[in-house]
């Protein structure tokens, strides 16, 4: 398919007939009111036939979704309708002044704006919550209903009962920014009204962020462009070809950097992912959730063959061996003792030991250890797949230790074992004021907080800012997110929790489309898309090039949709805080005001009108490649890390303390050293007798999570299917393309199978984010993975173990 597919006449027009189609989710919602509104879009054919010269313009806009990139879109608008979409045409092909070329998703933006699932007017729930039955109401009714309930719930339960849901649909925006929660206009509104219950961490990186905060007091990595200075690239579960697509993503940068350095690249992943796919020097499939065992055995070989960087470990690290072990630790509590079998478990972490756990042959582990131990420097990194597991904190910390054993931290061509770092142009953000409420929960435990809020404590559930939650969640704001259902775990259980409206009393969803989460709303507000309003797209970067985009208004608002600024201003008025909220500015006045402030800090910026014409401003990192912890490496005394010791803590005294004091469910482990631990639904769980296959998810090129998941051409271009090894397929009498059922105790999905040696035996993989499409028995028919995932959190981060699942697969 050509990148400019939107110009292709066969694929182009969104016809009127198609546009009134009811929702793909069963035709319930939009059709329920039975009201078809006049169309905001003129039919393409009409504009040609009426003879008048069409009014054509090109407007800079942006794709602001949470794919890790941000991309400029040039909207070609004729008579008020987007006809086709192009992308950046500034700069050249040389990296760091390159064109930031949108991927096929962004180029399909027109199909999101003019989508049959588009919400048209405010609606109120009429059936059971989650059923998706609504009636149309006016904006005045919607605002009043929200404000009245908000006042009542704050009065009855306090501001701690009002929760801002994780929602990253527009995190690239400025006025429209939806995440982190504290940066959204909803936060500003709530902060004017006494505050809200916050969340920390993310579905993306909970285990690695928490894990590495103990190791490094942070978790940054060298920029990927620094691969031009390396000898060897080792990727643990990192798939930039899919998760960092486009000229703003870094997949192309990776290839250009490798061309310069000619570095070898080893990809360690249960799946032969697109990043490998012929570009790799070697693919090492690994049993999911066992990377820490692999690292332990690599350490064993490096220690016994004298390949570790002892001076680095002595000078910069705590707890590698007895020399740097804290006094509070047992004398055999150091990492070297654990590896050599002198620790409490008495097991030497030999390649043979790890081979049984990881399914990687012992001689391959030995060869890999020698290779990593002798390549100087080596760029060791991990994506976020290995950490999205029930033992993900341990895995993330272990991979970081590998970078320390080999002395690769803080140097050019090396890396910390974390994901790549990048550079962004600093810009002034919308001020959202201070949250008077300090309590926050892990983003993943909101369903728990609905059910048992006041039972949740700091040392059992990781509640922060307070010892114990005061109230259960009673009110949820869900702005630009699908984690009310589609993206959260265990959809069936979550539906049950949400279905009881005596528990959480009010759910407000602000969306563009009739998503699974939208169907769980009590009040559903139709938002503008990026194309229908003015905003800046910030925090955009491509390795060591930062950029910002002027996302202008391309077309008029469709139907009765309104902007988030207008919605929150109207609710602020009803809450009696309008002047504090708006400060008397319109959306455009705010943008001009913020831009003025950015210009004062950064005199290099062009004027507002110049920026508007340019569409995109790019800037290279003045410091060159980003080298994580370089100042610490250069002078550790002057530039200590954010850990208590100021050093890299292989052994963490804080974790040792938590291991003693936290109340953990049976089987959960917190440990001062990064070690391999068995987990629930891991490769050695006895549950495998009933559910013999490990199921991992992955982030798929067809969508950004669930966003773009309802675009016909994208669905056709990259089909939703479950990956399965021929050995597993043959055992079950399954052939490539068959319709299968995949199930466990939590639910079932039916989807076509892709039988492929790109998947290791014993493991199946399914792209996350497909639109949950249940039948009357609750069986999903779209390959929506979260009918199979668990609500049980990981031990330390209380994060989402969404890649740790056991299932069985059978032919339908």
Residues that bind ligand SF4 (CB under 6 A): 63, 65, 67, 69-71, 102-103, 105-106, 245-246, 248-249, 704
Written as six digits, the tokens of 196 are 């809200």
Contact 713, 11 (CB under 8 A): yes
Handedness of CA 719, 722, 723, 728 (dihedral sign): negative
Query: Rounded distance, CA 97 to CA 41, Å?
Result: 37
Smallest gap, in angstroms, from Cβ of residue 204 to Mo ion? 3
| Cα–Cα distance list, 201 to 198, 208, 440, 472, 516 (Å) | 10, 10, 10, 20, 23
Smallest gap, in angstroms, from Cβ of residue 89 to ligand SF4? 15
Which among 658, 668, 671, 724 has a CA at the least distance from the CA of 693? 724
Torsion angle in degrees (nearest 10) through CA of 448, 449, 452, 455 = 110
Near ligand MGD by CB under 6 A: residue from 271, 474, 754, 758? 271
Near ligand MGD by CB under 6 A: residue from 512, 563, 720, 750? 512
By beta-carbon proximity to ligand MGD, the closer residue of 530 and 568 is 530
By beta-carbon proximity to Mo ion, the closer residue of 204 and 287 is 204
Pairing of strands 523-526, 282-284: unpaired
Query: Rounded distance, CA 409 to CA 380, Å?
Result: 10
By three-state DSSP, how is residue 771 classified? coil
Does 411 participate in binding ligand MGD (rule CB under 6 A)?
A: no
Pairing of strands 162-164, 56-63: unpaired
The beta-carbon contacts of 2-11 under 8 Å, at least 24 apart in sequence, are: 3/101, 3/104, 3/107, 4/84, 4/86, 4/107, 5/104, 5/107, 5/108, 5/713, 6/83, 6/84, 6/85, 6/107, 6/108, 6/110, 7/84, 11/713
By beta-carbon proximity to ligand MGD, the closer residue of 161 and 702 is 702
Does 270 participate in binding ligand MGD (rule CB under 6 A)?
A: yes
Smallest gap, in angstroms, from Cβ of residue 746 to Mo ion? 22
Does 490 participate in binding ligand MGD (rule CB under 6 A)?
A: no
Question: Which residue's Cβ has the minimum distance to ligand SF4?
Answer: 106
| Cα–Cα distance list, 563 to 14, 65, 138, 508, 527 (Å) | 24, 17, 15, 15, 6
Which does residue 71 bind out of ligand SF4, Mo ion, ligand MGD, none, counting CB within 5 to 8 angstroms by kind?
A: ligand SF4
By beta-carbon proximity to ligand SF4, the closer residue of 442 and 529 is 529
Range in contact with ligand MGD (rule: CB under 6 A) among 139-147, 339-347, 380-388, 618-626 = 380-388
Does 797 participate in binding ligand MGD (rule CB under 6 A)?
A: no
Query: Rounded distance, CA 481 to CA 483, Å?
Result: 6
Does 291 participate in binding ligand MGD (rule CB under 6 A)?
A: yes
By beta-carbon proximity to Mo ion, the closer residue of 204 and 440 is 204
By beta-carbon proximity to ligand SF4, the closer residue of 71 and 760 is 71
Smallest gap, in angstroms, from Cβ of residue 53 to ligand SF4? 32
Does 181 participate in binding ligand MGD (rule CB under 6 A)?
A: no
Which does residue 598 bind out of ligand SF4, ligand MGD, Mo ion, none, counting CB within 5 to 8 angstroms by kind?
A: none
By beta-carbon proximity to ligand SF4, the closer residue of 70 and 118 is 70
Query: Could you tell me how many residues of this chain bind ligand MGD (CB under 6 A)?
Result: 66
Does 204 participate in binding Mo ion (rule CB under 5 A)?
A: yes
Does 180 participate in binding ligand MGD (rule CB under 6 A)?
A: no
Contact 548, 513 (CB under 8 A): no
Which does residue 63 bind out of ligand MGD, ligand SF4, Mo ion, none, counting CB within 5 to 8 angstroms by kind?
A: ligand SF4
Query: Mutual orientation of helices 392-405 and 291-304 as an angle, nearest 10°?
Result: 20
Contact 382, 208 (CB under 8 A): yes
b/e code 228-246 from CB counts within 10 Å (16+ = b): bbbbbbbbbbbbbbbbbbb
Neighbour tally for 224: CB within 10 Å: 31
Written as six digits, the tokens of 59 are 């407007």
Smallest gap, in angstroms, from Cβ of residue 63 to ligand SF4? 3
Smallest gap, in angstroms, from Cβ of residue 3 to ligand SF4? 11
Does 238 participate in binding Mo ion (rule CB under 5 A)?
A: no
- H or E stretch covering 343: none
Contact 256, 403 (CB under 8 A): no
**Strands, E assignment, 746-799:** 747-755, 763-767
| Cα–Cα distance list, 511 to 29, 122, 187, 561, 660 (Å) | 13, 10, 17, 10, 44
By beta-carbon proximity to ligand MGD, the closer residue of 222 and 529 is 529
Does 203 participate in binding ligand MGD (rule CB under 6 A)?
A: yes
Range in contact with ligand MGD (rule: CB under 6 A) among 301-309, 351-359, 700-708, 773-781 = 700-708
Does 707 participate in binding ligand MGD (rule CB under 6 A)?
A: yes
Smallest gap, in angstroms, from Cβ of residue 167 to Mo ion? 12
Q: Please, which of residues 523-582 interact with ligand MGD by CB under 6 A?
A: 527, 529-530
Range in contact with ligand MGD (rule: CB under 6 A) among 214-222, 324-332, 431-439, 704-712 = 704-712
Smallest gap, in angstroms, from Cβ of residue 699 to ligand MGD? 4
Near ligand MGD by CB under 6 A: residue from 101, 389, 630, 746? 389
By beta-carbon proximity to ligand MGD, the closer residue of 98 and 701 is 701
Does 483 participate in binding ligand MGD (rule CB under 6 A)?
A: yes
Contact 678, 357 (CB under 8 A): no
Where does this chain bind Mo ion (CB under 5 A)? Answer: 204
Residues that bind ligand MGD (CB under 6 A): 66-68, 167-170, 176, 203-204, 236-239, 242-243, 245, 268-271, 273, 286, 288-289, 291, 383-386, 388-389, 479-483, 486-487, 510-513, 515, 527, 529-530, 696-701, 703-707, 765, 768-769, 785-786, 789, 802-803
């Amino acid at each position: 398919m050509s990148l400019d597919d939107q110009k292709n006449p066969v694929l182009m027009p969104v016809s009127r007939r198609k546009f009134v189609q009811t929702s793909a989710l069963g035709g319930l919602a939009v059709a329920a009111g039975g009201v078809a509104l006049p169309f905001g879009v003129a039919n393409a054919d009409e504009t040609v036939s009426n003879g008048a010269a069409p009014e054509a313009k090109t407007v800079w806009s942006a794709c602001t979704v949470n794919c890790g990139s941000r991309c400029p879109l040039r909207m070609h608008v004729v008579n008020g309708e987007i006809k086709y979409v192009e992308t950046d045409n500034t700069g050249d092909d040389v990296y760091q002044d390159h064109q930031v070329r949108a991927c096929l998703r962004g180029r399909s933006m027109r199909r999101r704006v003019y989508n049959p699932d588009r919400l048209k007017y405010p609606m109120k729930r009429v059936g059971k919550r989650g059923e998706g039955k609504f009636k149309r109401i006016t904006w005045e009714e919607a605002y009043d209903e929200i404000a009245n309930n908000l006042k009542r719930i704050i009065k009855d339960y306090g501001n701690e009962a009002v929760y801002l849901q994780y929602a990253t649909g527009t995190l690239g925006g400025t006025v429209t920014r939806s995440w982190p929660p504290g940066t959204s206009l909803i936060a500003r509104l709530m902060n004017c009204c006494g505050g809200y219950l916050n969340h920390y961490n993310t579905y993306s990186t909970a285990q690695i962020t928490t894990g590495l905060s103990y190791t490094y007091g942070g978790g940054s990595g060298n920029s990927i462009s620094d691969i031009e200075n390396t000898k060897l690239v080792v990727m643990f579960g990192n798939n930039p070809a899919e998760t960092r697509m486009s000229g703003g993503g870094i997949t192309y940068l990776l290839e250009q950097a490798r061309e310069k350095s000619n570095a070898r690249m080893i990809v360690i992943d249960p799946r032969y992912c697109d990043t490998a796919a012929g570009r790799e020097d070697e693919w090492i499939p690994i049993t999911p959730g066992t990377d820490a065992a692999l690292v332990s055995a690599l350490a064993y070989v490096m220690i016994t063959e004298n390949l570790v960087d002892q001076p680095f470990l002595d000078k910069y690290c705590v707890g590698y061996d007895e020399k740097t072990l804290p006094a509070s630790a047992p004398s055999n509590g150091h990492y070297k003792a654990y590896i050599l079998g002198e620790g409490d478990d008495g097991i030497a972490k030999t390649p043979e030991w790890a081979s049984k756990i990881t399914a990687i042959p012992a001689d391959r582990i030995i060869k890999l250890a020698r290779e990593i131990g002798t390549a100087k420097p080596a760029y060791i990194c991990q994506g976020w797949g290995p950490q999205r597991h029930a033992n993900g904190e341990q895995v993330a910390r272990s991979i970081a230790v590998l970078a320390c054993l080999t002395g690769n931290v803080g140097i050019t061509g090396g890396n910390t074992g974390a994901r790549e770092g990048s550079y962004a142009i600093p810009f002034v953000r919308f001020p959202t004021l201070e949250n008077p409420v300090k309590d926050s929960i892990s983003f993943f435990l909101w369903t728990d907080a609905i059910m048992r809020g006041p039972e949740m404590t700091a040392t059992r559930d990781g509640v922060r800012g307070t010892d114990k939650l005061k109230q259960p969640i009673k009110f949820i704001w869900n702005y630009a997110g699908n984690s009310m259902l589609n993206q959260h775990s265990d959809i069936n259980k979550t539906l049950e929790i949400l279905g009881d409206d005596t528990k959480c009393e009010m759910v407000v969803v602000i969306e563009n489309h009739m998503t699974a989460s939208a169907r769980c709303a009590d009040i559903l507000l139709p938002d503008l898309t990026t194309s229908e309003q003015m905003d800046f797209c910030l925090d955009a970067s491509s390795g060591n090039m930062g950029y910002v985009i002027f996302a202008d208004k391309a077309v008029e608002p469709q139907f009765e949709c309104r902007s988030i600024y207008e919605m929150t201003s109207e609710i602020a008025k009803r809450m009696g805080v309008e002047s504090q909220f708006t400060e008397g500015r319109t959306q455009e006045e705010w943008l001009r005001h913020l831009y003025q402030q950015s210009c004062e800090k950064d005199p290099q910026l062009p004027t507002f009108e110049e920026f508007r014409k340019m569409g995109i401003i790019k800037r290279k990192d003045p410091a060159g490649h980003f080298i994580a912890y370089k100042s610490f490496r250069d002078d550790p005394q002057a530039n200590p890390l954010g850990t208590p010791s100021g050093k890299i803590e292989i052994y963490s005294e804080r974790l040792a303390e938590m291991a003693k004091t936290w109340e953990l469910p049976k089987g959960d482990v917190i440990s001062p050293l990064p070690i391999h631990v068995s987990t629930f639904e891991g490769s050695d769980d006895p549950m495998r007798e009933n559910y013999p296959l490990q199921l991992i998810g992955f982030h798929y090129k067809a969508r950004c999570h669930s966003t773009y998941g309802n675009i016909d051409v994208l669905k056709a271009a990259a089909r939703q299917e479950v990956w399965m090894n021929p050995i597993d397929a043959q055992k079950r009498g399954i052939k490539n393309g068959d319709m299968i059922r995949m199930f466990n105790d939590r639910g079932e999905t039916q989807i076509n199978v892709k039988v492929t040696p790109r998947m290791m035996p014993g493991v199946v993989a399914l792209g996350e984010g497909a639109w949950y499409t249940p039948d009357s028995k609750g069986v999903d028919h779209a390959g929506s993975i979260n009918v199979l995932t668990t609500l049980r959190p990981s031990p330390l981060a209380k994060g989402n173990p969404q890649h740790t699942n056991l299932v069985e697969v059978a032919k339908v």
